[in-house]
Structure formats: structure tokens, C-alpha cells
Structure 1
């Protein structure tokens, strides 16, 4: 399943912002460098963005820019949510995890457990794939274990989660974001998911 992209021209037309505003917000860190995706088109090279994330981010910036400086906005939108902690009920209320996911993957935790951002991100990722109907609960157990073991090894560097199936068997791989992957013809790639973009989606639910 490929993420939906929007071209730079389409973005400027849809939001009414200028080229200068877009790149000023990029310099201030309001729009991550990784969201500027260069792709080859028939006219040469063009810049695209992850559509859902960039539109949500620009909407927030436009709504808050009259009350906060760009530096204050960057701190609020980019850094602040990483320090957040929520309990199970709070995560369900904010639609970070479904009730089914909470019962499956959080039932062994002590009552009153508070979950830091990194743990919420792993649970959110598993729940996202479950809601999409792309994997089952038992496969979610495998994915959660893989994220727990391997995601910290990237030390905050951009990485992608690759979900594949071969002959009905699911496997999960974490790779650096720029890695090219090649599989034999019996392998089906179910989803390649940017963990950085997933983290941004989680931040939007915590703001």
C-alpha cells in the first residue's frame, strides 16, 4: 500500500501559502526535511510531500502563527509531544489504540501504567496495521516484539518498517529510510511504512 503524495504545486494551490512561506517553515523545522520527496516525472524532477501529514501540519501552522512565533511553533508542534505520557484509557480516548489492541497488547501491564512516546509509537504502529486489515492479532504480537527489539537501534534516525508476506507467512523488517529493497517474485510487500511519518501522525493526536 503506497502512501498518498501531493505535488508542491498542488500543495501551494490547495493551501494558499507561498513558495517562500513553505521553505521558510522548512528552515525553521516546522516541516521536516524528509517530507520533501524528490521524484522523477516526465518533465524532470518534482517535489512531492506525504499528503495527509503536510496538509495537517500547514493547517496547524496557519491556525497558530498569529499567536506564536515560528520558533515557538516549532517547539510546540515538533518537540513537545515527544515528552507526553498517557495511560491506557487516555490512549483509547485519543484514538491512538483501539480497545481490541489495548486488550491484546496492554493487558499484562500494571493498572495505572503510563506510556512514554516511544512505547505509544510502537502500539500505534501495530494498531494502524490492524485497523487497515493488513494483519491479524498474532502477527501484531510479532511486530510489537520486533519494534521493541530493533527500533531503538536506529537512535532516532529515519527508518522504515517493511511488512512482507511469502506463501502466507508474515515478516517484518526495519531498514534505514533510504534503503532500496529487492525480493524474489514470491514475496509480496504489504506495506512500507515510514516510522518518522508515523511518529508525526502520533504527535498530531497528542497535541
Structure 2
């Protein structure tokens, strides 16, 4: 299914931002270059954007720009900030994730003392999955392993503005999980149902705010 797009003219009208703001945010990488889509129309070449993603991003920028500089906002929206690390005791002290998620993570990494941002993201996504109430501890363990093994390969897509989702599917009581880059469609066999979907870019932004 083709992604729903919004024209630049409509975007400026709906959000109330100016042409200058839009392109200033583009230059600062608050809005990915890949979201500026050039298409031919009867009036010539026009710029369009993925509707849901651009509207959500602009709303977040507007809500945060009074408290953070554009450079700080750019770091919030980058997929993986270099040089960020957190001591394990801080994870607990700052309530970054729940104790249940911490226990599951420690089972797999009992010697962990300092977590990089990417390692902390895997823990944070695990916590987000468990907090849906639809994902069991065993399914959470499976998701943690998947994130650690496969998400680094998908980060390139995240850097280019493509969303990555962690999807849990269950059929006849048996669950599996997968990582999917969006936009795209997921089709499953009859009787299978999606029980949880975790948006990884949203987790990245939430985690950065917790660490700020």
C-alpha cells in the first residue's frame, strides 16, 4: 500500500510553520532529507512528505523547541548518539526501566557494568514490550536477543528516516517476534495475530529524554 503523503503547501498550512522554519530544521537534521519527496504534478515538481511521520515530528519539535536548542533537538532525533554510556547502577537509580526488565537483562548479561546507548536501547525496548501486558517474560527474552543480534544491521535504515518496529505475533499460544522496517506491509498466516508493536524510533527519543 502506498504511503499517505502531504504536500509542502498543506503541511505549512496545517502546522502553522514557515517555509524558513521547515528548511532550517532540515539543515539541522531535525527532519530527515529522505522525507522531502519530489514528485511530478500537473503544475510541475512539488515536494511531499510522509504525512504521519512529518506531522508527528513537527509536533514534537514545536513542543520541545522552547526548552532545547536546535543542536540539542538534532541529537534527540539522531538514531544513536555516539559516546553516550550509563553505569548499571544509574539504570536503577534513575528508574530508566522497570526492575522486571532489569532482571531479564541481567540474566543475559550478569557482568554488565556500563551500557552504551545501543545496549541501553535494547533494554529500554525490552521494558516497553513487557509493559504492554501482552508480552511474557520468555517472549521478552526472545525480543532482547533479536534486538541485540539484528537491530545493528537495521540502524542504517533508521538513520535514513525509516521507522523500525518490533512486532510480536502469536498463534495457538505460540509467539514469535520480528523486526520490520517501515513503510511496508506485514502479512501473516490465517489464525496469527499481532499482539504488540514497539516503534523503535519513538523508544530512541523517549530514552534520550530520560537521559537528558
How high is the TM-score relative to the length of structure 2?
0.70
- Aligned with 1:197 (options 193, 199, 202): 202
For residues 35 and 191 of structure 1, the distance between their equivalents in structure 2, rounded to whole angstroms, comes to: 26
Secondary structure of 2:119's aligned partner: helix
Q: Which runs of 5+ in 1 are unaligned?
A: 1-6, 37-44
Deviation at 1:89, TM superposition (A): 2.5
What is the correspondence of 1:132-147 to structure 2 with a 5 Å cutoff? 132-147=132-147
Deviation at 1:8, TM superposition (A): 5.3
For residues 21 and 188 of structure 1, the distance between their equivalents in structure 2, rounded to whole angstroms, comes to: 42
Alignment length (residue pairs): 185
What is the correspondence of 1:1-207 to structure 2 with a 5 Å cutoff? 12=15, 17-18=17-18, 20-32=20-32, 47-49=51-53, 55-65=59-69, 70=70, 72-73=71-72, 76-79=75-78, 81-107=81-107, 108-110=109-111, 113-158=113-158, 159-207=164-212
Secondary structure of 2:157's aligned partner: coil
For residues 180 and 173 of structure 2, the distance between their equivalents in structure 1, rounded to whole angstroms, comes to: 22
Secondary structure of 1:200's aligned partner: helix
Q: Which runs of 5+ in 2 are unaligned?
A: 1-9, 37-48, 159-163
Retained in 2: the 8 A contact 1:161–1:175?
Answer: yes
Secondary structure of 1:64's aligned partner: coil
Higher mean C-alpha displacement, 157-166 vs 78-87: 78-87
Retained in 2: the 8 A contact 1:64–1:73?
Answer: yes
| Structure 1 residues 11 and 95: CA distance shift in structure 2, 3 A | farther
For residues 54 and 143 of structure 1, the distance between their equivalents in structure 2, rounded to whole angstroms, comes to: 30
**C-alpha RMSD of matched pairs (Å):** 3.3
For residues 198 and 179 of structure 1, the distance between their equivalents in structure 2, rounded to whole angstroms, comes to: 20
How high is the TM-score relative to the length of structure 1?
0.71
For residues 65 and 143 of structure 2, the distance between their equivalents in structure 1, rounded to whole angstroms, comes to: 34
For residues 182 and 149 of structure 1, the distance between their equivalents in structure 2, rounded to whole angstroms, comes to: 23
Retained in 1: the 8 A contact 2:130–2:136?
Answer: yes
Secondary structure of 2:203's aligned partner: helix
